Structure 1
Amino acid sequence: MSSDGNKKQFWKRNTAKVPGNIQHVYGAQHPPFDPLLHANLMKAGNKPPSASTPGKPKKATTFQEFESITSDAWDVGDDDDELLAMAAQNLNIEVVMETANKVIENHSKLQERRQQEMEKTTEPDEKYGEEVEEEEEEPEEEEEREEVVETTDVSFSTDPLPLGDSRLVKSHSEAPIGSPKEVGIEQAALHRQQSLPHRPVIPLVARMADQNTSGTPAMTEREASRLDKFRQVLAGPNTDLEELRKLSWSGIPRQVRPITWKLLSGYLPANAERRESTLQRKRQEYFGFIEQYYDSRNDEHHQDTYRQIHIDIPRMSPESLVLQPKVTEIFERILFIWAIRHPASGYVQGINDLVTPFFVVYVFEYIEEEVENFNVSSLQEEVLRNIEADSFWCMSKLLDGIQDNYTFAQPGIQRKVKALEELVSRIDETVHRQMQLYEVEYLQFAFRWMNNLLMRELPLRCTIRLWDTYQAEPEGFSRFHLYVCAAFLVRWRKEILEEKDFQGLMILLQNLPTMHWGNEEVSVLLAEAYRLKFAFADAPNHYKR
């Protein structure tokens, strides 16, 4: 067998598998990157990266390299959220297409302005050091914003920053001008400086520029207004769920996210008077299951299931949270009880990830600080019991809509992967042909996208924001998720077309550089998915050749 054939067989053996016996369906890390595997693949035939051309940024060949050489600030497009909310309220196809395009157009204009500003800083000038240093100074308001946000995100373009970026120019202009040899040394030092992070790496549940994932930053007037709208809808004796969905589509403020998720998932009734009694009854019911079933985890019939759950939980993210003994115990109980009560599927790897967003959101109901830095065991026992039971029931509601993803042979996932392939072939034939050219099967990378609902591809803060929309969108976790995956794949069009072999494509698709994504990137992704849904959902032969 040829060398290329061996590589393809290797990838087929080591990517997504359907369960007959228990197999890993995703990488254990987040991002799912195995340095040893990458090193072996390099030895198998990859050429070492060539030296960068002077004045041009070095191309990132791995996620770690990308992360180390990329640093940029981003502005949340408040107007974009309003446009998305308008689109969600009016399902007219023309309005949908116009509003989704407007979001993307606004984003493109923002990127063009940033590019023009960067180009200005690279123009030669006799007073280079003095003038650029002045240009580098930012308004006090912008400095305050960065101090409050305390986050690092890449812009929609994934190109690394050029050496002329304004954050690097100051150190360059202050360097003493000496002999050519000294100048070369300074340039080399500057290049090394570029490869280091310029700001602290953001945590997995980082502070965002709005109130969607943290209550710590001071709210803007717009954020306070949105929060007030949510509270008005929630304050009535009977919550208008349709109005709540419209508000939630473009993101839910952290302060009201727990109650909103419980209502939108169907866990709590719309009638306010019935909520407390419902909570008490459902929580007692869950702990009744614990008393009835949990001791059977060591029985011969169930011990394999429990053992696999116990192995999978430490692989989840954020590690600082799931490695806490108290959290591990909670997750083990939730997953084991769900598996016992759903024998048609039982426990399948991937289900474990779906507990985390609910758990984190419901912990936020009781704390102000970031969850990955918080000792969960410090919460009162009664509070922990409430969080555990609520997480179990909301995860169960989610899985009720996608359970065929996890039954024998996982037919739901296989259908969705096939649908994704068909959809991409219609919306971007060039990307689809690139996959065909190098014999990359969609199942090899998109299985995990469907199995884990993109949780292994996105930071947790982005997953929580994405789920705000999924909760608000009809069949969000099943039908709409397909269009999000299609938009997500086409988002990397440039990078996909640059790869020239099977191996390069697989490494790219299994390690996409999203670690620094935030609300802006998720909003653009959702806008594109929304547009695709209404262009193709009810027109199966539209644009098909």
Structure 2
Amino acid sequence: MASDGGRKQFWKRSGAKVPGSIQHVYGAQHPPFDPLLHGTLIKPGSKPPTTPVKLKKVSTFQEFESNTSDAWDLGDDDDELLAIAAENLNTEVVMETAHKVIQNHSKLQEQHKFQEEHLQEEKQEEFAQLTSMACGDNRLVKSVSEGHTSSSLDNASENSSMQRSQSLPQTSIPPLTSGMADYNTSVNPALTEREASRLDKFKQLLAGPNTDLDELRKLSWSGIPKRVRPIAWKLLSGYLPANVDRRESTLQRKRKEYFAFVEQYYDSRNDENHQDTYRQIHIDIPRMSPEVLRLQPKVTEIFERILFIWAIRHPASGYVQGINDLVTPFFVVFVCEYIEEEEVENFDVSSLPEEVLQNIEADSYWCMSKLLDGIQDNYTFAQPGIQKKVKMLEELVSRIDEQVHRHLDQHEVKYLQFAFRWMNNLLMREVPLRCTIRLWDTYQSEPEGFSHFHLYVCAAFLVRWRKEILEEKDFQELLIFLQNLPTVHWGNEDISVLLAEAYRLKFAFADAPNHYKK
């Protein structure tokens, strides 16, 4: 027993932190709670938890405070918190450290200013070169001289000009990619070294005489840069040929073919046989995702034509609610081929030339048609494709997370009640539009991505919320949660994690039917 006591005494550590001690690792998205950074969360009049503090530490902090001055005004609560958290600091060390921090900050500011000035000079030179390139292209590119003219008016216009210049490609590119703007639904930061390297790989691949589609799929699986996404999607969907010389003629032929359909069929939308279809389309478009430009009359008109022509040309399924959502990603991506706005949702589509709008409409129709060709059984009578996929999802979840599956079953929540929409709309109603577009980069890179791989994405998506699901204790709460999942702040990183988990599930179960079924 004495030896046990000695052993305990030997391993005993003091409560104070020492260099090299193990600490929790926190991500930037979920940092540890710091009351100094969340002062508004402390109710007025309340005091933080008291901790025994030695008088020496308090007096040391008071000495430090008397020899320094902060740029922030601290309240009483903040003073008390700082006094509690104060360590045994030496005044000379503190002053020396603060002086070094100020010096380093000044140096960084000077370096940043120099880099910005240097970057501006480079961008102005590239602007002049790109202008001459864009003039030979039939696509819409905003005038560079317009940016330079506006820069002489005020500083805000100068900053806007700089942002537009950064969104343009920096190397020679084929005609289909020139004039591409940078699609963004949030802030558009400068490209990192890794992102710039990936963009160069895409440009080199797309500029070749014959694009290697297998290599394009490999590159696209982890996301496509915004600047080359329009042409990449057209190639991955099978709308454009791999041969560069044939692309422009293919585009012209397919666009003429689409508008021949419009001329042939669209006037029949008020006929007795088709008026119900057209009426349902007209009702569904305003119900679409709030992020799309759906309220603009021009957008509504374009969507109505696309959906009606598709329904007439596919009588086996006709128009079914849910198909209307599938136009949106293509339309938004192809609009960004012709504009340089950072937030496409705020762009007035009617300001584009009529020829450009026709190109966007025809391209969206054909790419949506290619997508639906692979999942058309989702939209035939009784939607057997969706029924089958929901059943497969239930079996898969029962194998990968039996606890979640049993919890849903105990509270009588049927998979069809929440997963039907996941299959019908390809998760478009569950995640923001920016996430859907990133998701579709991978779907178009995967064999049967919109049908087979989507099943594993849905399974990973459900299990992603296992903690929240297990906390809900009745049918109503569970169903409300599953139909309103908190993904409003999701970004590309969340989608990348989801896709990685889906790929893991596919690798484990797709070629192992004995693992898949009980």
Runs of 4+ in structure 1 deviating by more than 4 angstroms, as ranges, are: 112-128, 130-135
Count of matched residue pairs: 370
- The residue number in structure 2 matching 1:98 is none
Q: Say if 1:421 and 1:442, in contact at 8 Å, map to a contact too.
A: yes
User: Partners in 1 of 2:330 and 2:323 — Cα distance?
Assistant: 13
- The residue number in structure 1 matching 2:488 is 515
| 1:129 lines up with 2:78 in the alignment | yes
Matches within 5 A, 1:59-458: 110-111=26-27, 114-116=30-32, 118=34, 129=78, 213=184, 216-318=188-290, 321-369=293-341, 370-458=343-431
* 1:339 to partner: Cα distance: 0.1
The secondary structure found in structure 2 opposite 1:259 is helix
Q: Say if 1:213 and 1:253, in contact at 8 Å, map to a contact too.
A: no
* 1:317 to partner: Cα distance: 2.0
Deviations 1:286-313 (A, max 9, x none): 0000000000000000000000000000
Q: Say if 1:496 and 1:505, in contact at 8 Å, map to a contact too.
A: yes
State the AA in 1 paired with 2:310. Answer: W
* 1:129 to partner: Cα distance: 2.2
State the AA in 1 paired with 2:78. Answer: G
| 1:494 lines up with 2:467 in the alignment | yes
User: Partners in 1 of 2:311 and 2:82 — Cα distance?
Assistant: 61
User: Partners in 1 of 2:260 and 2:313 — Cα distance?
Assistant: 13
State the AA in 1 paired with 2:278. Answer: Y
- The residue number in structure 1 matching 2:134 is none
Compared CA separation, residues 212 and 299, structure 1 to 2 (3 A):
closer
Q: Percent identity?
A: 79
User: Partners in 2 of 1:112 and 1:259 — Cα distance?
Assistant: 34
Q: Say if 1:459 and 1:514, in contact at 8 Å, map to a contact too.
A: yes
* 1:112 to partner: Cα distance: 9.3
TM-score normalized with structure 2 length: 0.67
Q: What residue ranges of structure 2 are gaps of 5+ in the alignment?
A: 1-23, 39-47, 52-57, 62-76, 87-100, 113-166, 168-181
State the AA in 1 paired with 2:399. Answer: R
| 1:462 lines up with 2:435 in the alignment | yes
* 1:226 to partner: Cα distance: 0.9
Q: Say if 2:413 and 2:475, in contact at 8 Å, map to a contact too.
A: yes
Q: Say if 2:183 and 2:344, in contact at 8 Å, map to a contact too.
A: no
1:539 to 508, 512, 516: 512
Q: Say if 1:424 and 1:432, in contact at 8 Å, map to a contact too.
A: yes
User: Partners in 1 of 2:502 and 2:202 — Cα distance?
Assistant: 25
Compared CA separation, residues 537 and 212, structure 1 to 2 (3 A):
farther
Deviations 1:5-56 (A, max 9, x none): xxxxxxxxxxxxxxxxxxxxxxxxxxxxxxxxxxxxxxxxxxxxxxxxxxxx
Q: Say if 1:252 and 1:468, in contact at 8 Å, map to a contact too.
A: yes
* 1:116 to partner: Cα distance: 4.3
Greater Rg over alpha carbons, structure: 2
State the AA in 2 paired with 1:275. Answer: R
- The residue number in structure 2 matching 1:42 is none
User: Partners in 1 of 2:469 and 2:435 — Cα distance?
Assistant: 22
User: Partners in 1 of 2:276 and 2:265 — Cα distance?
Assistant: 15
Q: Say if 2:183 and 2:333, in contact at 8 Å, map to a contact too.
A: no
Compared CA separation, residues 347 and 113, structure 1 to 2 (3 A):
closer
User: Partners in 2 of 1:518 and 1:132 — Cα distance?
Assistant: 36
Compared CA separation, residues 428 and 285, structure 1 to 2 (3 A):
same
Compared CA separation, residues 319 and 521, structure 1 to 2 (3 A):
closer
Deviations 1:172-210 (A, max 9, x none): xxxxxxxxxxxxxxxxxxxxxxxxxxxxxxxxxxx9xxx
User: Partners in 1 of 2:399 and 2:36 — Cα distance?
Assistant: 40
2:498 to 513, 522, 525: 525
User: Partners in 2 of 1:505 and 1:118 — Cα distance?
Assistant: 32
User: Partners in 1 of 2:397 and 2:451 — Cα distance?
Assistant: 17
Q: Say if 2:335 and 2:360, in contact at 8 Å, map to a contact too.
A: yes
State the AA in 1 paired with 2:442. Answer: T
Deviations 1:316-373 (A, max 9, x none): 1235610100000000000000000000000000000000000000000011111111
User: Partners in 2 of 1:325 and 1:441 — Cα distance?
Assistant: 39
Deviations 1:426-467 (A, max 9, x none): 000000001110111100100000000000000000000000
User: Partners in 2 of 1:398 and 1:430 — Cα distance?
Assistant: 35
User: Partners in 2 of 1:240 and 1:114 — Cα distance?
Assistant: 41
Higher relative contact order (CA 8 A, sep 6+): 1
The secondary structure found in structure 2 opposite 1:487 is helix
Root-mean-square deviation (CA, aligned residues, Å) is: 2.9
User: Partners in 2 of 1:363 and 1:320 — Cα distance?
Assistant: 12
User: Partners in 1 of 2:415 and 2:196 — Cα distance?
Assistant: 43
User: Partners in 1 of 2:213 and 2:346 — Cα distance?
Assistant: 34
* 1:498 to partner: Cα distance: 0.6
* 1:121 to partner: Cα distance: 7.1
The secondary structure found in structure 2 opposite 1:321 is coil
User: Partners in 1 of 2:25 and 2:206 — Cα distance?
Assistant: 37
Q: Say if 2:210 and 2:242, in contact at 8 Å, map to a contact too.
A: yes
* 1:221 to partner: Cα distance: 1.7
Q: Say if 2:411 and 2:475, in contact at 8 Å, map to a contact too.
A: yes
State the AA in 2 paired with 1:280. Answer: Q
User: Partners in 2 of 1:218 and 1:483 — Cα distance?
Assistant: 33
